[in-house]
Amino acid sequence: MNQGIARTWERLKSVLRGRKGTDFQLEITEVGITLKWLNLENESGEHFIQWGQVQTITVYKRDLFTYDLICLLFSSRIGPEIELNEEMPNWQSLVDALPQFLPGCPAYQDWWHPIAVPAFATNETVIYSRLKP
C-alpha cells in the first residue's frame, strides 16, 4: 500500500475511534518528566528529561488566533528540548512540582499572571536557569 494512503487510512481509523488529534500523557515523578504521545497515524513516542538535566525553563504564550496557549520549554544538557502546554493532562501537577524538584524555580502563581496578561503577547520569560550568568 502506498505510504500516503496508509497514513490517511490510519488517520481515518483514529478519527472513527473518537480521537481528534494527538493524545498526550504527561508523567511527573521524583526522577523527572516523561511526555508520551500517540498521533492520528498511530505513531507513538516519548521524551524523558531528568530533573537534574534541566538547564532552563522558558515560559511563553502561543497566539492561537482566538485564545492564547501557555507553554513551557524545557532545555536540557542532553536530548531534545521539550515543549509542554496547559492543555496537556497533568499540567497543573507539573507546574506545582517545579519548585519542589528545581530549587529556585518560582511557584506557578508567581509567574502565571505576568505571562497571561496582556492577551496575545508572547511574554517570553526564563523562569528557571541552572546556567551561570
Q: Kindly give the interhelix angle for 91-101 and 108-116, rounded to the nearest 10 degrees.
A: 120
pTM of the model: 0.81
pLDDT at residue number 61: 94
Q: What is the pLDDT of residues 79-114, one digit of tens each?
A: 889 999 999 999 999 999 999 999 999 999 999 999
The distance from CA 10 to its chain's CA centroid, rounded to whole angstroms, is 25
- Tens of pLDDT along 9-29? 565 555 556 656 788 999 999
Distance CA 71, CA 22 (A): 17
The region of weakest confidence among 31-35, 61-65, 86-90 is 61-65
* Least confident window among 47-51, 86-90, 117-121: 117-121
| pLDDT at site 20 | 67
Q: Are the C-beta atoms of 36 and 25 separated by less than 8 Å?
A: yes
Between CA 2 and CA 16 the distance in angstroms is 21
**Residues belonging to the chain:** 133
pLDDT of residue 22: 81
- Looking at per-residue pLDDT, the higher value among 106 and 43 belongs to 106
* 49 band by pLDDT with thresholds 50, 70 and 90: very high
- Rounded to whole angstroms, how far apart are CA atoms 63 and 44? 27
